[in-house]
């Protein structure tokens, strides 16, 4: 099937920012900082943890190693759940730091 190539790619990808970004791990900080700025410009309010009035939750689907969760979503939300539904990508979740 067409997705076998994707499965093979993720099976051989290093469990690191550099690995999941295809060798461009140095863009991680700028990428997540821009994601936070974009979310704020779209009107995402402050979480309770950051002094806001509401508790904010997020779901990171296809979370991989939790790069976006750790770099952006946990700055924006009180709670983030990570989901990775397909092997071999699901092995990447083992690198996501529990918070």
Residue range 31-79, pLDDT digits in tens = 999 999 999 999 999 999 999 999 999 999 989 899 999 999 999 999 9
Which residue bears the tokens 């704020």?
Answer: 40
Question: Tell me, what's the pLDDT at 88?
Answer: 63
The 3-state secondary structure of 40-91 reads HHCCCCCEHHHCCCECCEEEEECCCCCHHHHHHHHHHCCEEEEECCCCCHHH
Question: Tell me, what's the pLDDT at 97?
Answer: 65
Contact 28, 67 (CB under 8 A): yes
According to the CATH classification, is domain 4-95 in 1.20.1250.20?
no
Domains of the chain: which residue ranges?
4-95
Among 43, 50, 42, which Cα is nearest to 76's? 50
Question: Tell me, what's the pLDDT at 99?
Answer: 55
């Amino acid at each position: 099937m067409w997705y076998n190539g994707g499965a093979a790619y993720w099976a051989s990808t290093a469990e690191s920012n550099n690995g999941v970004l295809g060798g461009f791990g140095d863009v991680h900080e700028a990428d997540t900082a821009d994601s936070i700025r974009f979310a704020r410009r779209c009107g995402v309010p402050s979480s309770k943890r950051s002094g806001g009035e509401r508790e904010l939750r997020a779901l990171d689907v296809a979370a991989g190693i939790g790069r976006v969760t750790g770099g952006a979503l946990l700055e924006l939300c009180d709670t983030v759940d990570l989901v990775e539904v397909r092997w071999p990508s699901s092995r990447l979740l083992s690198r996501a730091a529990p918070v």
